[in-house]
């Protein structure tokens, strides 16, 4: 029986990153993956959606670029080319991961793995031995119990098809729902979003939800919040989605219905008969060090159901790989930024004002509107802002929320600041370049003391 120090189940951003770091740390590692490497993020999530969004943005920019005197009345796009480009990006990245695994002398076992017991894994027909097992098997779209839900598509199926539905109803106004709403509306499709809570992106800063709602409504997206879907029915040409919003029964016809109401853990056939680890609501239960209730068996990423983000899974993978090799802890898992690739982009890290207040913290806050800055005017931005939240006593930055172009990159600086407890003074002392979006971060920090240069002074 071939044996390893570590067998990783799943080659997504949690699993393959853990495997590489473990190999760098001198461990003998195997990764079992039945599907393409890269997991949901690369094959059915972050990368393909962002590749499509990039194309959508290029198309939208061409349509809106009247200032360069576009000559054709009707700018058109070739959907087959857009999908081929997305597939090429995915395939190049899959190759990259495979090469990295090879270069790090990691055995990639292309088979479905099942855990037989402590230190024993069956991969296809082979039984493997190991000191530790890391479950990084990810998640799948969840489907609510709604009559007719079998007619709905998921983000998996929508991304796999090289087609656009002219009329799309999206159930769920969370991250996936709003990214698809942004994408589909950019391609000129009719979109309606049906969200159960009182606002879209209910876990985000309230002003971000409101601003996105306003921007999308201007683009023709219909948003129904506080709504309950009653049924999806097949019609002659398409589907009807019946729902109740604010007590009124409504119905929308569409060519497709996308269900985006969250994701559930992927634990199907993961355990051989007679063996299991403790689960809660379908997710694998772990402690703060990602240990399951069975010694030597760990779990990270979407399958544990805490923060379902690729970069969180990768960071957890690094944590485990370092811990198994008895190396000092190298990642701070307490500060995980979140990004939403709508147009404009949204990103946040740390606490919002409401969350800080709910914890009884005394805070001071800053807000800077980018809309009148040189960079925003040049790039024709919609209403954009950066908000900062500081602990009033220590003056340390504890949270940042952004809705502006490049927010998903800019949040990196904010994450460094929050993770290292940087203060107003330390953040202001840094000179940021002009004209950029990042210089507005300086202003959002200064705004917390009423001293932003490019904003009217606060009323006294």
| Residues classed as catalytic | 434
For residue 340, state whether it binds ligand NAD (rule: CB under 6 A).
Answer: yes
Which window, 189-197, 329-337, 413-421, 443-451, contacts ligand NAD (CB under 6 A)? 189-197
- Minimum distance, C-beta of residue 101 to ligand NAD, in the bound complex (Å): 24
For residue 144, state whether it binds ligand NAD (rule: CB under 6 A).
Answer: yes
- Minimum distance, C-beta of residue 171 to ligand NAD, in the bound complex (Å): 5
Cis omega (within 30 of 0) on the bond before 410?
no
Instruction: Give the residue, chosen from 20, 115, 171, 186, that forms a contact with ligand NAD under the rule CB under 6 A.
Output: 171
User: Closest CB to ligand NAD among 307 and 428?
Assistant: 307
Which window, 73-81, 84-92, 158-166, 169-177, contacts ligand NAD (CB under 6 A)? 169-177
| CB-based contacts of 181, cutoff 8 Å, min separation 6 | 170, 173, 191, 193, 216, 221, 342
Q: Which residues pair with 257 in a beta bridge?
A: 169
Number of residues that bind ligand NAD (CB under 6 A): 25
**Token pair in block for residue 157:** 């199926």
Taking residues 199 to 218 in sequence order and writing x for each that binds ligand NAD by CB under 6 A, - otherwise, the string is ---x----------------
User: Closest CB to ligand NAD among 38 and 119?
Assistant: 38
User: Closest CB to ligand NAD among 4 and 180?
Assistant: 180
For residue 39, state whether it binds ligand NAD (rule: CB under 6 A).
Answer: no
**Strand ranges (E), 246-316:** 248-254, 256-259, 263-265, 279-280, 283-284, 297-299
Helix (H) or strand (E) holding 2: none
Query: How would you classify the pairing of strands 126-135 and 120-123?
Result: antiparallel
User: Closest CB to ligand NAD among 142 and 272?
Assistant: 142
- Minimum distance, C-beta of residue 230 to ligand NAD, in the bound complex (Å): 10
User: Closest CB to ligand NAD among 52 and 448?
Assistant: 52
Restricted to residues 409-448, the positions that interact with ligand NAD (CB under 6 A) are none
Three-point CA angle 192, 53, 66, nearest 5°: 90
Instruction: Tell me how far apart the terminal alpha carbons of the chain are, to the nearest angstrom.
Output: 76
Q: Which residues pair with 339 in a beta bridge?
A: 347
Instruction: Give the residue, chosen from 172, 301, 337, 344, that forms a contact with ligand NAD under the rule CB under 6 A.
Output: 172
For residue 339, state whether it binds ligand NAD (rule: CB under 6 A).
Answer: yes
Q: How many CA atoms lie within 13 A of 202 on its CB side?
A: 12
Instruction: Give the residue, chosen from 212, 309, 312, 347, that forms a contact with ligand NAD under the rule CB under 6 A.
Output: 309
For residue 262, state whether it binds ligand NAD (rule: CB under 6 A).
Answer: yes
3-state secondary structure of 21: helix
User: Closest CB to ligand NAD among 411 and 452?
Assistant: 411
Q: In the 8-state DSSP scheme, what is residue 329?
A: P
CA 208 to chain centre: 16
- Minimum distance, C-beta of residue 83 to ligand NAD, in the bound complex (Å): 19
Three-point CA angle 63, 69, 71, nearest 5°: 75
* Cβ-proximal residue to ligand NAD, closest one: 174
**Token pair in block for residue 244:** 């109740």
Q: In the 8-state DSSP scheme, what is residue 424?
A: H
- Minimum distance, C-beta of residue 207 to ligand NAD, in the bound complex (Å): 17
Which window, 27-35, 61-69, 313-321, 334-342, contacts ligand NAD (CB under 6 A)? 334-342
For residue 30, state whether it binds ligand NAD (rule: CB under 6 A).
Answer: no
For residue 226, state whether it binds ligand NAD (rule: CB under 6 A).
Answer: no
User: Closest CB to ligand NAD among 302 and 322?
Assistant: 302
For residue 197, state whether it binds ligand NAD (rule: CB under 6 A).
Answer: yes
User: Closest CB to ligand NAD among 179 and 443?
Assistant: 179
**Strand ranges (E), 273-412:** 279-280, 283-284, 297-299, 338-340, 346-350, 363-369, 385-391, 397-403
For residue 90, state whether it binds ligand NAD (rule: CB under 6 A).
Answer: no
In contact, 43 and 36? CB cutoff 8 Å:
yes
Cis omega (within 30 of 0) on the bond before 97?
no
Q: How many residues does the chain have?
A: 460
Q: How far apart are CA 211 and CA 343, in angstroms?
A: 11
Q: Which residues pair with 284 in a beta bridge?
A: 279
- Minimum distance, C-beta of residue 345 to ligand NAD, in the bound complex (Å): 9
**Token pair in block for residue 11:** 């080659």
Q: Which residues bind ligand NAD (CB under 6 A)?
A: 45, 144, 171-177, 179, 194-197, 202, 229, 260-263, 308-309, 339-341
């Amino acid at each position: 029986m071939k044996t390893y120090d570590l067998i990783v189940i799943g080659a997504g951003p949690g699993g393959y990153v853990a495997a590489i770091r473990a190999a760098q740390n001198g461990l003998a590692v195997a990764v079992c993956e039945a599907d393409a490497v890269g997991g949901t993020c690369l094959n059915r999530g972050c990368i393909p959606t962002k590749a499509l969004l990039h194309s959508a943005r290029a198309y939208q920019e061409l349509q809106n670029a009247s200032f360069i005197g576009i000559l054709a009345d009707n700018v058109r796009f070739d959907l087959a080319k857009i999908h081929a480009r997305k597939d090429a990006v995915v395939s190049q990245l899959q190759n990259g991961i495979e090469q990295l695994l090879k270069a790090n002398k990691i055995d990639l076992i292309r088979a479905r793995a099942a855990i037989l017991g402590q230190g024993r894994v069956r991969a296809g027909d082979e039984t493997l031995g190991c000191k530790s097992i890391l479950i990084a098997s990810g998640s799948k779209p969840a489907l609510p119990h709604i009559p007719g839900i079998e007619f709905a598509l998921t983000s998996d199926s929508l991304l796999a098809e090289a087609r656009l539905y002219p009329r799309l109803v999206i159930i769920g106004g969370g991250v996936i729902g709003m990214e698809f709403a942004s994408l589909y509306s950019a391609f000129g499709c009719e979109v309606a979003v049906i969200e159960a809570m009182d606002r879209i992106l209910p876990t985000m800063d309230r002003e971000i939800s409101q601003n996105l709602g306003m921007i999308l409504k201007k683009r023709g997206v219909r948003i129904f919040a506080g709504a309950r879907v009653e049924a999806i029915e097949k019609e002659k040409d398409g589907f009807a989605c019946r729902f109740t919003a604010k007590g009124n029964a409504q119905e929308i016809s569409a060519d497709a219905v996308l269900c985006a109401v969250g994701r559930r853990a992927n634990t199907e056939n993961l355990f051989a008969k007679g063996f299991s680890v403790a689960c809660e609501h379908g997710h694998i239960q772990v402690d703060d060090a990602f240990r399951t209730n069975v010694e030597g068996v760990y779990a990270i990423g979407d399958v544990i159901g805490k923060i379902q983000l690729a970069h969180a899974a990768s960071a957890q993978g690094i944590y485990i790989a370092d811990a198994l090799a008895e190396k000092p802890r190298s990642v701070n898992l307490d500060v995980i930024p979140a990004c939403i690739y709508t147009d404009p982009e949204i990103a946040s890290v740390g606490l919002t004002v409401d969350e800080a207040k709910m914890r009884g913290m005394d805070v001071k806050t800053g807000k800077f509107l980018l809309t009148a800055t040189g960079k925003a005017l040049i790039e024709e931005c919609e209403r954009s802002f950066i908000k900062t939240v500081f602990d009033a006593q220590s003056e340390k930055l504890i949270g940042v929320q952004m809705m502006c172009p490049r927010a998903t990159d800019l949040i990196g600086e904010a994450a460094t600041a929050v993770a290292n407890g940087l203060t107003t003074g330390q953040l202001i002392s840094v000179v940021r370049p002009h004209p950029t979006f990042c210089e507005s971060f300086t202003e959002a920090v200064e705004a917390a003391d009423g001293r932003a240069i490019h904003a009217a002074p606060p009323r006294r």
